[in-house]
Amino acid sequence: MELSEGAVVEREQVQPEEVAQTLEALRAVGFLALEERYATDDCCDFIAHTITVTTSTGTHTVYCYNECPAAFDAARRAIFALWPHEIPVKGFA
């Protein structure tokens, strides 16, 4: 599993069973059916997220800035739960 922010990339080993469970959760919430980009020009600064999921059948990448669909937020939480330690949100500020 990889987590990247800017030029910094961290990698962690995740058990195959956990990956399989998370992939099923992503399918269940509809992540793999999301469009490639969700972004609005509304007020203020937000943290953009890009989630890329690669399976045996292909790769699906979704970018979200500001208002994210519920399936994107559910996928982000499920993936973050796999990471073995807290993920500090640094941003570019």
Q: Determine, yes or no, domain membership for 90.
A: no
Residue 93 above 70 pLDDT?
no
Q: Determine, yes or no, domain membership for 91.
A: no
Q: Determine, yes or no, domain membership for 93.
A: no
Residue 70 above 60 pLDDT?
yes
| Cβ–Cβ < 8 Å for 61, 36 | yes
Domain span at 64: 2-82
Q: Determine, yes or no, domain membership for 54.
A: yes
Q: Determine, yes or no, domain membership for 75.
A: yes
Mean pLDDT of 44-70: 89
Q: Determine, yes or no, domain membership for 88.
A: no
Q: How many domains does the chain have?
A: 1
Q: Determine, yes or no, domain membership for 92.
A: no
Rg of the chain (C-alpha set): 14
The predicted-structure confidence for 1-39, as pLDDT tens digits, reads as follows 888 877 888 898 989 999 999 999 999 999 999 999 998
Whether this model's pTM surpasses 0.85? no
Residue 41 above 90 pLDDT?
no
